Amino acid sequence: MTLDMPASAGYIDAPESAIGTTVRADGRALMDRTQLLDAYGRMAVIRRMEELISTLYRDGLIPGFVHTSVGQEGCAVGALFHARPDDVITSTHRGHGHVLAKGLEPRRMMAELMGKETGSCRGRGGSMHVADPSIGIFGANGIVGAGLPIAVGAAHALAGRGQGAVAVAFFGDGAVATGAFHESLNIAALRGLPIVFFCENNRYSEFSRAADQHPVPVAQRALAYGVPFAQFPGNDVAAVADGMAEVLGKVRAGGGPYLVEAVTLRVRGHYEGDEQRYREPAELAEASTIDPLRLARARLAELGVTETELDEIDRAAHSVVADAEDFARNSAEPDPASAGDYVYVRRRTTTPAARAGSAGGKPSSGTRILRQALHDALADEPAVFLAGIDVAGGNVFGVTRGLHEKFPDRVLDTPIAETAIMGLGVGAAMAGLRPVVELMYFDFLGVCFDQILNQAAKLRFMTGGAVTVPLVIRTQFGSGRSSGSQHSQSLETLMAHVPGLTVVMPSSGADAYGLLRSAIEDDNPVVFIENRLLYEKKSPMPSPDHRVPLGQAKIVRPGRDVTLVSWSRMVYDALEAAEMLGAEGIEVEVIDLRTIVPLDRETVLRSLQRTNRLVIAHEAVVDFGVGAELAALAVKEGFWTLDAPVARVGAAYSPAPYAPVLERQWKAGPADIVRAVHEVAAC
């Protein structure tokens, strides 16, 4: 066991002398008799549970995918033997042992794996996504490395409470190759967060040997970030528990993050059914000699525990697991009618008349209005904080300028690490804060999409409603300034296609203020998309009580002949086109959606009933967009009110060009809208 930062270290190839250690270098026993008996009992439950899970999966009683942790029980129990109830863990697709060691009831875990309503996630998570946030289990995760940024966010929230709680992020050796690993360590080290990154090096990344995947050992990766490192023989539960007691003590005392490597051996395949043809028989034969339960039994025998006592513990473990199986088998399946439950938290009721506030203040730029909304949210709610690249300095467009000076502990600059920024927001939101994190350009979505697509949007659903993620992701876009193909994209369709997200795109200053305040107060993850071409557009500053309900469109120009639906900056092109058409005697009703999800279908359909014609105009490319969804709405629910084909106006189906002459040709504008309205009005 090593608790100091080594200059270099290599992977342990699992000699028994390395993995079977039962005393410290100074000769002191690692655990006393009572503690080791307790640890043995916990490992026995996990072992029996995993063996039964394998059988039930083979027999078709557990669906989906299953990844067992047989042989790695010493890591889970040892890592969490000294954990506190208020500590938080994130886990991996091989997480059964971790969640049981943290305190999840075996009954609820088994029911979850069988897809039952009594499961810890009401049958919505399954083997790879077991969670119970009420006891600090922020979830196993089917995406390699994805739990690390979430644990960083949880650690940020725990640090703010100042009570010594710690986040423990479990991951396998394969995850050290992911960007999430590096970004998470970097931010945790930068901010001195109370988190232990616990690597279970079972020497295989799916079907590949760790030695063939990583050019440097885990210890050197810790050195690169200035993070203290500890390496334990992972199959010796006493060694792991004793080492983690020291690590946790240092982290709880404010020592910042720690990287731990527990060297163990994966006994079974990557998944149940994996024949492991890529492994040498001698390696598998080695498993019995370094079995963590066998090592613990041997040590307990040295401490005077009889075989009869140990057999009694084994029988008790079998009884616990048998009870869990009976409970799960006899539990009801979820009601099929509830398949769509837990996607969104019920939204708070906002009465527009009561919360509209005054929009008659001093004319201000869109930038100042957004800044005021953020300022007022920070002032009103201590759980709100801002994080992102350069937000303390005002960000690239100056939206957050001056906020760090007023709220120095809650306006946080981050490194250029979009995955970790989004994960920071997800984990902090799960832990009770209300993060507003910034994605500098909408185009950078691809860098961090997993944390939005697979984490923020799905965690409430996958936990059966056990968690809320009150997270706001602010970002911006805008074509027309020769920003090129990687800084001009309008990607709201990607966001709108992900159940669980709310997508907001304001056009006016008053709506930007009211919608942002509503988004921050909402208990769902909200993607708040600003158009940078509106930052300098002036309008009256709203009063602090101004709110705009999410999911309500607004008729910004009434008309009788054609319904024209738009959002964000394109609303102004729509209004300009409507004025031009009005001079011709064509009265166009312009609707500003304001919120893409939830989509205000009723307002669109009511308008269509009056006009019988529909045109949709947006800045994004026409193909496969939100406009197509609105067109589908019109030709289904609004079919009998249509007197003409639906027309869509938007950018051509290509990346945004750089040269101004090409960009003008590519993007849509008022003239294109006028032509589309003429076409449908002529029918």
Please give the full DSSP string across 461-521, using - where no structure is assigned. HHTTT------EEEEEE--SS---TTS----HHHHHTSTT-EEE---SHHHHHHHHHHHHH
Write the pLDDT tens digit of every residue in 430-444: 999 999 999 999 999
Q: 194: closest CA among 171, 167, 169, 170?
A: 167
Write the pLDDT tens digit of every residue in 577-602: 999 999 999 999 999 999 999 999 99
Is the predicted pLDDT of residue 106 greater than 80, yes or no? yes
The whole-number pLDDT of residue 18 equals 35
Is the predicted pLDDT of residue 256 greater than 80, yes or no? yes
Q: What are phi and psi of 315, to 5 degrees?
A: -65, -40
- CA angle centred on 303, ends 300 and 309, rounded to 5°: 50
Cβ-proximal residues to 337 (8 Å cutoff; 6+ apart), any chain: none
The whole-number pLDDT of residue 280 equals 73
**What confidence tier does 264 reach under pLDDT thresholds 50, 70, 90?**
confident
Write the pLDDT tens digit of every residue in 182-206: 999 999 999 999 999 999 987 766 5
Q: 204-205 and 208-209: which strand pairing? A: antiparallel
Is the predicted pLDDT of residue 387 greater than 90, yes or no? yes
The whole-number pLDDT of residue 165 equals 98
User: 504 has which bridge partners?
Assistant: 528, 595
CA-based radius of gyration for the chain: 28
Specify whether 270 is catalytic: no
The span from the CA of 569 to the CA of 477, in Å, is 10
Q: What percentage of the chain has pLDDT greater than the value 70?
A: 90
Q: What is the mean pLDDT of residues 320-324?
A: 97
Domain boundaries, the chain: 16-335, 361-540, 554-681
Residue 461 identity (one-letter amino acid): F
Mean model confidence pLDDT for the chain = 90
Write the pLDDT tens digit of every residue in 596-648: 999 999 999 999 999 999 999 999 999 999 999 999 999 999 999 999 999 99
The whole-number pLDDT of residue 91 equals 95
The span from the CA of 229 to the CA of 147, in Å, is 20
Q: What DSSP designation does 597 have?
A: E
The whole-number pLDDT of residue 359 equals 59
Is the predicted pLDDT of residue 661 greater than 90, yes or no? yes
The span from the CA of 387 to the CA of 416, in Å, is 11
What token pair was written down for 637? 């629910």
What token pair was written down for 60? 């078709």
The whole-number pLDDT of residue 274 equals 59
Lowest mean pLDDT among 387-396, 570-579, 613-622, 672-681: 387-396
- Exposed, middle or buried, 490 (CB in 10 Å: 0-12/13-18/19+)? buried
Length of the chain, in residues: 683
Is the predicted pLDDT of residue 270 greater than 70, yes or no? no
Question: DSSP letters of 457-477?
Answer: TTHHHHTTT------EEEEEE
Specify whether 418 is catalytic: yes
The catalytically annotated residue of 261, 272, 325, 418 is 418
The whole-number pLDDT of residue 219 equals 82
The span from the CA of 148 to the CA of 89, in Å, is 10
Is the predicted pLDDT of residue 286 greater than 80, yes or no? no
Look at residue 619 and give its three-state secondary structure: strand
The whole-number pLDDT of residue 16 equals 33
Is the predicted pLDDT of residue 273 greater than 80, yes or no? no
Write the pLDDT tens digit of every residue in 470-489: 999 999 999 988 888 989 99
Q: 43: closest CA among 280, 221, 233, 310?
A: 310
What token pair was written down for 669? 């504008």
The span from the CA of 110 to the CA of 37, in Å, is 24
Q: 556: closest CA among 540, 542, 538, 574?
A: 574
The catalytically annotated residue of 67, 96, 487, 546 is 487
Tell me which CATH homologous superfamily contains domain 361-540. Thiamin diphosphate (ThDP)-binding fold, Pyr/PP domains (3.40.50.970)
Write the pLDDT tens digit of every residue in 128-156: 999 999 999 999 998 998 999 999 999 99
Write the pLDDT tens digit of every residue in 336-354: 999 999 999 999 776 554 4
Write the pLDDT tens digit of every residue in 404-455: 999 999 999 999 999 999 999 999 999 999 999 999 999 999 999 999 999 9
**What confidence tier does 220 reach under pLDDT thresholds 50, 70, 90?**
confident
CA distances for 179 relative to 136, 145, 209, 256, angstroms: 25, 8, 20, 21
Is 16-335 a domain of CATH 3.40.190.10? no
The span from the CA of 193 to the CA of 204, in Å, is 29
- Exposed, middle or buried, 444 (CB in 10 Å: 0-12/13-18/19+)? middle
Question: Are domains 361-540 and 554-681 of this chain identical in fold?
Answer: yes
The whole-number pLDDT of residue 351 equals 58
* CATH placement of domain 554-681: 3.40.50.920
Would you state the torsion angle of the CA atoms of residues 210, 214, 218, 222, taken in this order, to the nearest 10 degrees? Answer: -160
Write the pLDDT tens digit of every residue in 524-583: 999 999 999 999 999 999 999 999 999 999 999 999 999 999 999 999 999 999 999 999
